[in-house]
Chain A
Amino acid sequence: MVLKIFFPQCCNIADSGLLIGHWIPGHNSAVVLAVVHYPFIPGQVKKYLNQMQSQSQVHLTVLGSWSMPKEGKEGMDSFLKDLSTIFPQKCWLQLSREIGKTGFTCQVVQNDGKLLQDRKEKNDDDSSEEDKIIFVHYDQRKVMLSQLHPVQEVSQKSEIEPSELRLVFQTVAQSQPLFFLDKYDDGPLKLTHWQSEGREASIIAELLKQASVPVCIFLTWLLSLWHWFCSFRILHSWPVLFISSKLSTCVQSGYRGVHFKTVFSPQKAATHMDFMRKANIFVSFLVDIALGLLLVSWLYRENRISKLADTLVPVADRVAKELQELLEWLMGAPAGLKMNRALDQVLGRFFLYHIHLWISYIHLMSPFIERILWYVGLSACLGLTFALSILSDIVALLTFHIYCFYVYGARLYCLKIYGLSSLWRLFRGKKWNVLRQRVDSCSYDLDQLFIGTLLFMILLFLLPTTALYYLVFTLLRLVVVLFQGVIHLSVDFINSFPLFAIGLRICRPYRLAEGVKFKVLCQEPGTPLHLMMEINPLKFSSVLQCYRTPTYSGYPKDSWAALSKKLFVGELIYPWKQKTTKTD
C-alpha cells in the first residue's frame, strides 16, 4: 500500500513538535494540518484537540512527530519515539529533516511496535510497491478556500462515495477553526499552520458584515411592502395582467424583485452555490446600476434629451411615410405580380387608413414626447436593464401599427389557408373525420358542392393577394421582433451573467478548482517521493455553465422548423399567447 501524506507547505520549516491531522477514512492517507511545538503538556493537547473537534466536526488526531534538527538540540529522537506511547495510535509517523537535504525522511511505527520504514532508505534494489510513502505538499490557504467542482455539498448525502481528493479538500476546509489560533496568541500551545493576515486588517469588512443584517432586514421589509402593493386585486384583473405580461419593463421589474428577495434574505447563505448565487446577483445588480448611472449622466448632458425627442417624431413620420409608399406599391402591380385588383384596393385602403390614424396619433403626442422621454430616462437610475426594457417597450408601442398590420394579414391568410384546405377536401368529395383523425370520403348534397366550389374558387384566386400582403407585413414584423429580441438578449445577458464568479476566476483562480496537478519536487535516493499539489482552475466555459443565473423563460421555444411552419400556416408568432391544448 502506498501511504500518502498531505503536508502543508508552511510547516516545512516549523520547529520540532507533534503533527496534528486527520486520517482519511477508507484511504491510506493522512492530512497534516498543523504542528504543535515544544514545550507542551499532553493533557492540554488532548483537550485542545477535543475542543477543535467539536467545533470543526473533523476527527483530529495526533499523527506523529516532527523533528527539525537545530544546533544544540540533539538526542531528541528517542524522546519523539516515546511520545507514541502517550498518544496511542494505530500508526505513528516520524518525520525528520536533515540539514542540507531538501527532502525529509519518514518512519512509520505500527502500534504493535514493528518498525515499518521507508524501504528506499535501506535497500534500493528490492523496493517493493507495498510500503512506499509519498509526500504531497499543498498550500494550506488555497486548499482551504478552494471549492472543488463539480460542487457536492457536505450536507447532502449522495450515493457516490466522495473521492480521496475531495475528502482532503473537505478536511482542510472544515478545520478552519484550527487556523484561528494565531502565533501571536498567548496560550498553552504554540502551533505552526497557515496564518491569516489577522482580523484587524479587515475592520471595514467586519463592520460591513455586522451592518448587513439590519440592512437586509430593512430591505426585506421594503420588498414585502412592494409585494403587498403588487397583490392588490385590481392588478390581477385580466387586462392589467395581460398587458403587464407583454411589457418587458414589468417582466424585468418582477424579475428584479425575485433577485432582491434572494439577495436580501437575512439568512446566511448555507451552501457554496447559494453564496455564489447571491454574490453573482449582487454584483450584476451593482454593475447594472453603474451602467445605468453612466447612461443617465451621458443622456442628461448637453440637452441630448430634447435632441432625441426632436429626431424621434420625424423618424416615426418617416417610417409611416415609407410604409405608405410600400402600400402604394403593393396596390399597383408589385414585382409584376398579377393580383386581384378589387381586393388589392380594399386591403390597401384599409391599411392606408390605419397609417393615417397612426400619423395623427403621433402628431397629437409630439408636444409631450420630450417630457415623456425626460421622465422615462430617469428610469435608467434603476439600472441599464430597465432602460433597455423601456426602450424595447417604446419600440413596441411605436411600431404598433406594424403589429396591427401583421395581425390582420396573418388572420386573413390563416383563414384562407384553413378554408382552402377544407374546401379542397370537399372538392375531391372527402371530409375530415374528427373522431378518427383522418380523411374520409363523404357524399355531399348538390347545394353543398355548389357553394363549396364557388367559395373554393374565390379563396383560391384571392390567395396570392392576401399572401403577398401577409408576406410583406410578416417581414416588417420580423425586423421589429429581431430588434426587440436583441434588446431582450442583452438584458438577459446582464441579468444572468455570473460576474462575481468570473471575477473570482480571474483574480483568485484557486477558489474555483476543477482538479489538481502534481509536480515532482525532489526525488532523492534515501528519501520518499515529494510531490507538489497545484490547483487546476475551473475553465471559463464551465464557470459560465455552472454559475449562470437562471432567467425567465419569456422566449419562444420553437425550433426554426416549427417557426417556419407557423409562418407558413399564418399562425401568430411572438408575442401571442399560444393555445397549448387543441381540443378537437
Chain B
Amino acid sequence: MMGADSGPGAPAVPWRKVLYERQPFPDNYVDCRFLEELRRNIRVRQYRYWAVVRETGLIAQQVSCVAVFLTLWSYMEQGDLEPSLVLWVCLGCALLGYGLYEILGGACVRERTRLADLQSATIFLAFTFGFSPVLKTLTESVSTDTVYAMSAVMLLAHLVSFPYAQPSPPGSLSLNAALFGSVCLASRLPGALHTFTMLSCALLVFALWPCLLHRMRDKAEWSFPWAAVLVCLAGVGGLGSLWPEGALLLSLALLTLTLLCPLLLVLLQRHKDNIHGPWDEAEIREDLSRFLN
C-alpha cells in the first residue's frame, strides 16, 4: 500500500497527514515516511532472575498452604490429631498473627476498629460452631469419591483464581472455592468438633494468612522470602510424613515453579517484540496537573 501510487502520475502537491483538508489522494494513502515512526519494545520491563524468583515465592507458598491444609485434614481423619489440640494451636497462631499484623501496620491508619475485629471473630466462631453438626451430615448421602472430587476441583479453582497481584483482601471466588472444598472435606471427619476445627483451620490458612503475608511483604520486605520458604518446607515436610512420594512430587513442582519458570521467563524475554507506531490508539500525554490546581 505504501508508496503504491508514487508513480509517474502522482500529483505534485505534497501529502499531509491531516483530515481537515481535501487532498488529491485516496483515504488510505500514506507516504514513505510511514515506518519512520515505528518503535519497538518501548515499555518492556527487563526482569532480573532473582527478583522473579522472589515473586514466585507467593505462588509456591499458596500451593504449599493447600498441602499443609490437606495434611492437617488427613491427620485428623485418621484420628492422629486431637481436635482440641489443633484448636488451641489455631487460637495461638491466630493471636500471634493478629499481634504481628498490628505491629507491622502500626503506623498506618486503621480501617477497622478492634471491636469490629472482635465482632467478626465472634460471628465466625458462632456460625461455624452452630452449623458444624449440620455441615457434618450435609454430604452424608453423597458418595465419598464425589466429595473428594468436588473438594479437589474446588481447591484447584482456589489456586487458579487466587489474586496473586493483590492478595489482600482475598478474592471472593478463590476464598469461596477454598471454603467450599474445606466444608466438603470437613464433612467426612468423624465428629462435629472435628468439622469445627477444620473450618477454623481453613479460615486461618485461606483467609487470614494471605492478609498477614501481604502486610509482611509491604512493611518488612526481608521477612517475606523466609516466610514463604518456611511454608513451603512445612508443606513438603507435612506431606512427606504421610506420603513420601507425594512430597517428592510437590518439592519438584515447587522447584519448577520457583526456579525453572522464572528462568524460562527471563530467557524468553529476548524474543519479545512489541511494535508501537502511529496506528496505536491516541494517548493523552499532556501534563494535566496545571488544570487540576
Q: What is A's interface to B at a CB cutoff of 8 Å? A: 338-342, 426-429, 443-447, 449-454, 456-458, 461-462
> Which one of B123, B137, B173, B183 contacts A429 once the chains associate, using CB atoms below 8 Å?
B173
Q: Do residues A340 and B138 form an inter-chain contact, with CB atoms below 8 A?
A: yes
A429 and B171 CA atoms in complex are apart in Å by 8
Compute how far the CA of A445 lies from the CA of B139 in the bound complex, rounded to whole angstroms: 27
Residues of chain A lying within 8 A (CB to CB) of residue B170:
446
Cβ-closest chain B residue relative to A428: B173
Is A428 a contact partner of B172 (Cβ separation < 8 A)?
yes
| Cβ A457 vs Cβ B140 within 8 A | no
Inter-subunit contact A451/B141 (CB<8 Å) = no
Instruction: Decide if B127 touches A457 in the complex (CB within 8 Å).
Output: no
CB < 8 Å neighbour of B127 from A340, A427, A450, A456:
A450
Contacts A426-B172, A443-B172; is A341 near B138 (CB within 8 Å)?
no
Report A334 CB to chain B, min CB distance, Å.
12
Residues of A within 8 A of B141 (CB): 338-341
Which residue from chain A places its CB closest to the CB of B172 in the assembled complex?
A: A429
- Could you say which residues of chain B place their CB within 8 Å of the CB of A428? 172-173, 176
A55 to chain B, nearest CB (A): 88
A449 touching B137, Cβ below 8 Å: no
B124 touches A457 (CB 8 A): no
Question: What residues on B are CB-neighbors of A449 within 8 Å?
Answer: 172, 175-176, 179
Question: Known interface pairs A443-B169, A451-B123. Does A457 touch B207 (Cβ–Cβ under 8 Å)?
Answer: no
**B95 in contact (CB, < 8 A):** no
Whether B172 and A447, one on each chain, are in contact in the complex, defined by CB atoms closer than 8 angstroms, is no
Partner of B169, one of A426, A446, A461: A446
Are A340 and B137 in touch, CB under 8 angstroms? yes
B142 at the interface (CB under 8 A from A): yes
Interface size class on chain B is 20 to 34
From B211, which residue of chain A is reached at the shortest CB distance?
A: A446
Residue in chain A with minimal CB distance to B123 = A447
Which residues of chain B are within 8 angstroms of A340 by Cβ–Cβ distance?
137-138, 140-141
Among A340, A342, A450, the one with the most B-chain Cβ atoms within 10 Å of its Cβ is: A450
Residue of A nearest to B182 (CB): A453
Chain A at the B interface: mostly helix, strand, loop or mixed?
helix
Residue of B nearest to A343 (CB): B137
What's the nearest-Cβ distance from chain B to residue A347, in Å? 15
Which A residues are in CB contact (< 8 Å) with B140?
Answer: 340-341
Given contacts A340-B140, A451-B123, contact A457 B172 (CB under 8 A): no
Given A427-B176, A454-B183, do A447 and B124 touch, yes or no (CB 8 Å)?
yes
Report which residue of A449, A458, A462 has the largest number of chain B beta carbons within 10 angstroms of its beta carbon.
A449
Query: 1/0 contact trace for B189-221 toward A, CB 8 Å?
Result: 000000000000001000100000000000000
Bound Cα distance A56, B173 (Å): 87
Contacts of B128 in A (CB 8 A): 454
The one of A427, A451, A454 that contacts B172, using a Cβ cutoff of 8 Å: A427
Any chain A CB within 8 A of the CB of B120? yes
Q: Is B101 an interface residue (CB 8 A)?
A: no
CB-nearest residue of chain B to A461: B138
What residues of B have a CB within 8 angstroms of the CB of A458 in the complex? 131, 134-135, 138
- Measured between alpha carbons, how far is A338 from B142 in the docked complex, in Å? 7
Q: Which 8 A-B pairs have the closest CB atoms?
A: A429-B172, A338-B141, A453-B179, A461-B138, A447-B120, A427-B176, A453-B176, A447-B123
Assembly CA distance A445 to B211 (angstroms): 13
Whether a CB of chain A sits under 8 angstroms from the CB of B69 is no
Chain B residues, Cβ within 8 Å of A462: 138
Q: Are B172 and A342 touching (Cβ within 8 A)?
A: no
Of residues 87 to 119 in B, which have CB atoms within 8 Å of A's CB atoms? none
In the complex, A93→B139 CA distance in Å?
102
Q: How far is the CB of A126 from chain B (nearest CB, A)?
A: 77
